[in-house]
Amino acid sequence: MDAFQDHYPENVSHCFGCGRLNGYGHQIKTRWDGDESVTRFMPEPYHTAVPGFVYGGLIASLVDCHSTGTAAAAMYRHEGRDMDSLPEFRFVTGSLHVDYLKPTPLVELELRGRVVEIKGRKVVVETSVIAAGQETARGRVVAVQMPQSFRS
């Protein structure tokens, strides 16, 4: 299955977290797993806070982009449309809240998102960060449909 981000047009594919055209970014790839979205990401040694543990800013960045990508895919799903159909749905962050539950080891991370609410131009997504089988962080993103003026 294609990743959500594979369907983003070039004019919105430069994001540090999920843009395939940003050679310096994370370039995350998010897919459906039933009613949850999932992203896997392997932090690099330079993503370190203290030896052996991931920097919290990376976790926030991953939660942010995973959740906004999930919001777009959820809106297409909600309307029964393919992700390549027009008009396109793209989302920006209206609010980002992250709870750090325990230190996150420098291992492959799994992010799992659940859509909490779709209302008008807003989608609320809760995302868990899982490392070595344990939830280490939890985020909540209020994603707002991107204004057309951002897409030029």
pTM score of the predicted model:
0.94
* pLDDT tens for each residue of 119-137: 999 999 999 999 999 999 9
Q: Which residues pair with 22 in a beta bridge?
A: none
- Cβ atoms 41, 29 nearer than 8 A: no
What pLDDT does 152 receive? Answer: 53
Tell me: pLDDT of 111 over 70: yes
Q: Which helix (H) or strand (E) holds 145?
A: strand 134-145
- The model's confidence at residue 151, banded by pLDDT at 50, 70 and 90, is low
Structure tokens at 61: 């960045």
Question: 56-107: per-residue pLDDT in tens?
Answer: 999 999 999 999 999 999 999 999 999 989 888 999 999 999 999 999 999 9
- From the CB of residue 133, how many other CB atoms can be counted at a distance below 10 Å? 7
Q: Which residues contact 114 (CB under 8 A, 6 or more apart)?
A: 35, 36, 37, 125, 126, 127
Mean pLDDT of the chain: 94
- pLDDT value at residue 9: 85
CA 43 to chain centre: 15
Quote the pLDDT of residue 99: 98
**Residue 33 has what pLDDT?**
98
